[in-house]
Amino acid sequence: MKGGSNYTIKVLAMVINDMSITAEASVTISTMSQDLVAKIARAPLITTGSDSKLVLDGSASYDPDRG
């Protein structure tokens, strides 16, 4: 199921020997998106100037809703 969506599940049950006996029910389910997980790889302490580039490795980050 997609996060942030609503799904309605409906069930209709009948007695096999007497199809006039029925029962039905429905339920609406709201799914929620989870927060993204940001993981920055550890690096040694770096001191840099304002004109220098700083590169962070976030390749271990993931979206828990995508498995």
pLDDT tens digit string along 16-49?
A: 999 999 999 999 999 888 888 999 998 788 888 8
Helix (H) or strand (E) holding 35: none
CA end-to-end span of the chain:
12
Whole-structure pTM over 0.75, yes or no?
A: no
Strand partners, 27: 9
Provide the pLDDT confidence category of residue 67 given band limits of 50, 70 and 90. Answer: low
3-27: b (≥16 Cβ within 10 Å) or e: eeeeeeeeeeeeeeeeeeeeeeeee
Measured CA to CA, the distance from residue 15 to residue 43 in angstroms comes to 66
